Structure 1
Amino acid sequence: MLIGVPKEIKNHEYRVGLTPASTRELVKRGHKVFVERDAGDAIGFSDTTYISSGATIVDTPEEIFGCADMIVKVKEPQENECKLLREGQLLYTYLHLAPDPKQTELLVASGATCVAYETVTDNAGGLPLLAPMSEVAGRLAPQMGAHHLERAQSGRGVLLGGVPGVAPATVTVIGGGVVGQNAALIAAGMGAQVTILDRSLERLRWLDNQYSGRIKTLYSTQTSVEDCALSSDMVIGAVLTAGAAAPKLLSREIIKDMLPGSVLVDVAIDQGGCFATSKATTHQEPTYIIDDVVHYCVANMPGAVARTSTLALNNATLPYAVALADQGLTALRENANLRNGLNVHRGKITHKAVSDALGYVHSDAQQALKN
């Protein structure tokens, strides 16, 4: 198979779909890999390294999209990239379609087969291709929030860990999954007073045992979420419904009553955000202020640590990339977990959460793949 790796063009996005090591694995199996010039240069993966791994370097995205049977990316294709896709081509990347009707419309029109990292499952029902970036985003969230609590960043002027004689910051993490656990781990490690909320008692028990009381656990209700938010210096939104738009957990009225200079970090922004006032921001302009509350809603948070993120992501995505390259659509037909990642196929929406969110007719993935 001919595999294309374009350079990411989203604002301050330096990750790359395949590392040189992943490229070497695919080339070893008889596939041809084309990498856009300087695609990995910003994070230490030079064109020379790709060439040594067996790749061919090309100059433009048009060449990549024009020659490849499968496109491997990190972030969702931007509008001009969507228009370069063609019928029968495989796209393998994060998509986050539920809050993005324009991208969905363009992918449907392209006729391409689009596999979303974030909805591929494993045998336990987990999301193995989302997990590594959730780990990175979770660990970044307190770090970013701590910076924006500084007074020069319009925050409350609170040090996350406090000092002897001065109380530490109060941090609320909504959601006890991969993002939430990692956010709580780092926030507590920085010395903050941390509360994590979730609706799974089993998960809360696990977290309580894991952290031996260093992190407070609460069952998540609308009341408990709002009460914690109103008394917190930082609130980290870490909820996920696979493939679907994120639920709105804090209303505009509650946010208006939060502590002046407090910080909201919305890690769910890729799926539309979990706060009523959330809107996607970039690494170039990461925050905005509404009602004296600082909002950090960067839609590609792991891009801030792009080398770590690319290596972690490739560890998870490579086996599925190999399966798609080796078998094409047969891999989707035969592997139910990979098939769960199929969001769009030849003009049809094949993931129910996406079709429900955007009002499309849902097509069963297995049936769609027979055509």
Structure 2
Amino acid sequence: MNTTDRRHWLKTIALGGGFTLMGGMPGLAQMAAPKRPLAEGPVKLNSNENPFGPSESVRRVLQENFHLGCRYPFQYIKALVSDIARKEEVPEDHVVITGGSTEGLNAAGLVYGLGGGEIIAADPTFQALLSYAEYFGGYVHRVPLDEGLSHDLNAMEQRITGKTRLVFLCNPNNPSGTLLDPGQLKDFCASTASRAVVFSDEAYYDYITEPDYPSMVGLVRQGYNVIVSKTFSKVYGLAGMRIGYLIARPDIALRLREALMANTNVLAILAAREALKDTDFYKFSLTQNEKCKQWIYNELDAMGIPYLRSHTNFVFFKSGMPIGTLLERMGAEGVQIGRPFPPLLDWARISTGTLEEVQAFTGALKKVLA
């Protein structure tokens, strides 16, 4: 789905609502969920995965090309780079294919943290880039989230010094699911990029329903010191295939490409190319996600549990119980939920699975908190 089509689609969701869309768009409401075996063991709602993927068309491509598993991926990457460049409206030399977006985060952590490089980030947020930088000698300034559990951009800006190499933003944020004001985000990134590289982790960008919400790829197009990471793990349902990408100015892209240590594979490349074409599954995943989030909201409201309305495929809620205790008790009920996110140790993150899975979650939560 290209940028223009996606904007139109998200306007439809934002104005009409996910449920209206499912009932009002011919064919989509009746689309059968991709076939998958019955779950064995606990209900897994702890990793923000798309339970419906890969789509049926992606599965066919994998089956038809399994014989290519003997081939190295390098000759197949160029076609995917072309697809992504067209989707993101950038030249091909701006695209870096990674073994999942985490590998892109690791590469940036290495490049900008090595040798004592200073990095600024919110706290809590996604840790891959930060922990990797620290492992290689970097120093991370962790800035607490504001009262709304969103990035405190003013406080982050005040931490920037002449030693700062990179400022990390995860937007929407993981684990809080919060979304920055688009104007403040763009102004912050544009002004900060003159002092340090800005890394915008947009793993959950596809779930944003606000019309015309900007990706920071727009600043990359204008030549700013900005890196954007995206992934096929979430809405496209390819978490197990390990494929993602970075968008950056060519000189920055080259440094990141040279720092990669984990390549992707031929089947993941072919799966990603097909996933980009399968707009029906893309829309199906988004509408199912909205349906499950609404179920979670309704149940948490009924239980009187505070939570944040999410711009992702998970919900962050305040259980009032130490997270270690909650994890243990929910696990005993056969439901896995998100890990601890200090210092918010009485908050928990629940992924949106299938409707049946989130119903199992709310049923278990009622028992645990009774």
Smaller-chain TM-score bracket: 0.3 to 0.5
Normalised by the size of structure 2, how large is the TM-score?
0.34
**Larger C-alpha radius of gyration, 1 or 2?**
1
TM-score (norm 1): 0.33
Work out which structure has the larger RCO, using CA pairs closer than 8 Å and 6 or more positions apart in sequence. Answer: 2
